[in-house]
Amino acid sequence: MQADFVIVGAGSAGCAMAYRLSEAGASVIVIEHGGTDAGPFIQMPAALSYPMNMKRYDWGYRSEPEPHLNNRRLACPRGKVIGGSSSINGMVYVRGHAMDFDHWAEQGADGWSFADVLPYYKRMENWHACGHGGDPAWRGTDGPLHVSRGPRQNPLYHAFVEAGRQAGYQTTDDYNGQKQEGFGPMEQTVWHGRRWSAANAYLRPALKSGHCTLVTGLAQRILIEEGRATGVEIRHGGSIKTVRANREVVLAASSINSPKLLMLSGIGPAAHLAAHGIDVVADRPGVGQNLQDHLELYLQMAASQPITLYKHWNLVSKAMIGAQWLFFKRGFGASNQFESTGFIRSEAGVPYPDIQFHFLPIAVRYDGTVAAGGHGFQAHVGPMRSPSRGSVTLASADPAAAPRIAFNYMSTEQDWIDFRRCIRLTREIFAQDAFKPFVKHEIQPGDAVQSDAELDDFIAEHAESAYHPCGTCRMGRADDPDAVVDPEARVIGVERLRVADSSIFPRITNGNLNAPSIMVGEKVSDHLLGRTMLARSNDMPWVHPTWQTAQR
């Protein structure tokens, strides 16, 4: 039970590192608490609402009662399975905006500007939209991670993009290319009709290489001797075992479990650790702080024509879709159904998009419950850069206990201003001529909900997490007292220990987090191997020429 590198967590970043390290000939042990990802619930893209609601695949975390959301406890699913959250997520592929990463660099994450990370995005991608528009020069075509687009056969997908254009917004052929801003086709990590998780893309090839071993167990603490990480203590069944690292230990256990494991190992805010009887190895007040997420609402419209996916929301149709997928990997089962999107700016003076839309041709919740009223469609919408910050702290020194997760959603006035604007801008899009043949009436929030106070009540009762937690082991300069890792992802104050997952993001990126999490794994693997970083890119992203004076 020893290897050059020990990685905790077989998720998005962990699988990418396992692949790159073993490809370089290093020996790797990956520790994962969850089990196999085999079976249709995970592998069939359209079944995405199932795995994130199954105890077998999900850690089952919930937030503390959120004081600004009527004290609701919100679900915080994290993948407890091979592939981690890339095995239970919505498979949406968004790199994030160039300016997100430039902001990281400004915050002390030197070497993580967009020019630095774009080559890693290209290295990881195998992009399949060529010939359907897009920006081939900005994309990678021979990486392990297949990125594709849905067939977009339902007319509603095109109505959404056209409505955005009619409302005066840009359109974009490739929001992951030069121009994020605008409405256009959405991309998904789906290949040959299967979920293309980090397990399928990276871990399976790594395990076949002969250099990588997968070990099942719950990581309890990092073993630290004389200020240096030497291995990981795991519980498997009834016994405790030690996995030794000859070179380095890397935490890639998620923005919830990575800070938890650091704190259990004596790395974190000293007073908090002492309160739980944990000896302090390194006093890092930033561990578990800076928690961020995306909140969203579903704006649902009743459809005047029976063209939505609701016609398949019955046992016979589901069985037929399942059979078609099982035998041919085709049909409705082969897409996540998120096939159109939009990225817009909320107001003049905002330099790059801060609102994202996921469009879906059915009115349904993440837990799989359908809106009363049958045929409908919806846009998920929410602000991308909330100023609110929360924390992950220990509830107990017991490694098996869930941590306390307090997102502190909607804790600033700006959050409410931004969210109301999201709702009103979405309503305006649904009111365009492109939707006239399809809209019957608004299901949610409903036409009666108009004033600021009414919208605020709706937000407090109905806002849901988009499941993008990050930021809890923030990357910054080594002399920054609130940073947890330095720009090479090394834990400040402990040798031979790194963190590489969404917890190191200084600030949340614009869009879904799976792509940037994998990119972190790709880039940190080069740091681990002591390699020269890939050459910086000179590509310049598109910025709206009148962003200072115009909202669209």
pTM of the model: 0.98
Domain with CATH 3.30.410.40 in the chain: 151-185+295-383+410-462
In 172-208, which positions are buried (b, 16+ CB within 10 angstroms) versus exposed (e)? bebbbbbbbbbbbbbbbbbbebbbbbbbbbbbbbbbe
Q: Annotated catalytic residue: which of 68, 358, 468, 527?
A: 468
Length of the chain: 552
Active site residue 146: no
What string of H, E and C letters represents the secondary structure of 179-212?
CCCEEEECEECEECCEECCHHHHHHHHHHHCCCE
Domain with CATH 3.50.50.60 in the chain: 2-39+198-291+470-528
| pLDDT mean for each 10 residues of the chain (552 residues) | 98 98 98 95 92 94 98 98 98 98 98 98 92 86 96 96 98 97 98 97 98 98 98 96 98 98 98 98 98 97 93 89 92 94 98 98 77 85 98 98 98 98 98 98 96 98 97 98 98 98 98 98 98 97 98 98
Q: Give the span between the Cα atoms of 433 and 166, in whole angstroms.
A: 8
Residue 373, pLDDT score: 67
Architecture of domain 151-185+295-383+410-462: 2-Layer Sandwich (3.30)
Residue (of 289, 288, 263) closest to 276 by Cα position: 263
User: What is the residue-wise DSSP string for 82-134?
Assistant: TTGGGGTS--B-----HHHHHHHHHTT-TT-SHHHHHHHHHHHEEE--TTSSS
Report how far apart the first and last C-alpha atoms of the chain are (Å, whole number): 57
What string of H, E and C letters represents the secondary structure of 372-385?
CCCCEEEEEEEECC
CA-to-CA dists, residue 313 to 26, 288, 364, angstroms: 49, 41, 10
Strands 145-149, 187-188: pairing is antiparallel
Architecture of domain 2-39+198-291+470-528: 3-Layer(bba) Sandwich (3.50)
